[in-house]
Amino acid sequence: MEQQAVDAAILAGSVDLDLSIISLIIRADFIVKIVLVVLLASSVWSWAIIFEKIRRMREIRIKANTFEEAFWSGGSLDDLYDRVGKNADHPMGVLFSSAMREWRRSESKGLTQSDKLSAGLRDRIHQVMRLSISREMEALERYVGFLATVGSTAPFVGLFGTVWGIMNSFQSIAVSKNTSLAVVAPGIAEALFATALGLVAAIPAVVAYNKFSNDLGRFANRMDGFSAEFAAILSRQLDERAA
């Protein structure tokens, strides 16, 4: 009834037609307001995830580069483990530490002296590294799925708000029995605003999701390559000891 009274006042010319964003939000139907709040919250949370993932991916790339330089410098693996093993704060370091921890544990028990025991150690080290990669990638991928959800659903949520706003416009026409633009403009404007906000939330989320998926895929391949090379180095050392 309040909305109908405002529409009637606008039609009579006693109230100016204000189509500003703030006015549209204030005058919007309750359902449309819920849609706008959901889309706005989704957009804010998406941007928070985007900025955090950009920071985190840049950080782990820098640390991985620094670690690999130290790893391939020709120094002792034991010395490198003593420096970073207990304080590994990036996926590459965690992968290295997990394999070296298993190596040292087996070495302390004399499990690196025979071919049969060495074969079991190779399998354990390989399994440990695979589990480390899986855990680290799962941590890096956290919340990325939310971006995909926002990208795929936000336009439809905005479309729902659009349909609801247009329905309100038709109701205003029916009540006032007038098809003047002053009657239908507010409802149409709030409907289009819901659609626009849905796209504002969805487009950055889709772009960011595609970028992070590619970045994470490349980093996973990088970790797989490092684990294979590291396993080969440990396997060579086992062969040298068994010879």
In a domain, 71, yes or no: yes
Mean pLDDT of the chain: 82
For 58-69, what is each residue's pLDDT tens digit?
999 999 999 999
Task: Answer yes or no: is 157 within a domain.
Answer: yes
- Determine what percent of the chain is predicted with pLDDT higher than 70: 78
Q: Supply the range of the domain harboring residue 98.
A: 2-9+28-242
Higher pLDDT, 238 or 42: 42
> How confident is the model at residue 19, as a pLDDT?
58
pLDDT level of residue 173 (50, 70, 90 thresholds): confident
The closest of 193, 195, 188 to 17, measured between CA atoms, is 188
* Distance in angstroms (rounded) separating the CA atoms of residues 64 and 172: 62
pLDDT reported for residue 59: 94
17 within some domain: no
Average pLDDT over residues 182-201: 81
- Any domain includes 92: yes
In a domain, 14, yes or no: no
Answer whether residue 19 is part of any domain: no
Q: Is residue 172 part of a domain?
A: yes
Are the beta carbons of 205 and 154 closer than 8 angstroms? Answer: yes
Cα–Cα distance between 14 and 18 in angstroms, integer?
12
What is the per-residue pLDDT across 113-165, written as a single tens digit (0 to 9) for each? 555 456 677 888 889 999 999 999 999 999 999 999 999 999 999 999 888 88
How many domains does the chain fold into? Answer: 1
SS3 call for 232: helix
pLDDT tens profile 89-119: 889 999 999 888 888 887 766 655 555 456 6
pLDDT average, residue stretch 11-30: 62
Q: How long, in residues, is the chain?
A: 243
Could you give the CA distance from residue 157 to residue 43 in angstroms, rounded to a whole number?
12
Inside any domain, residue 15: no
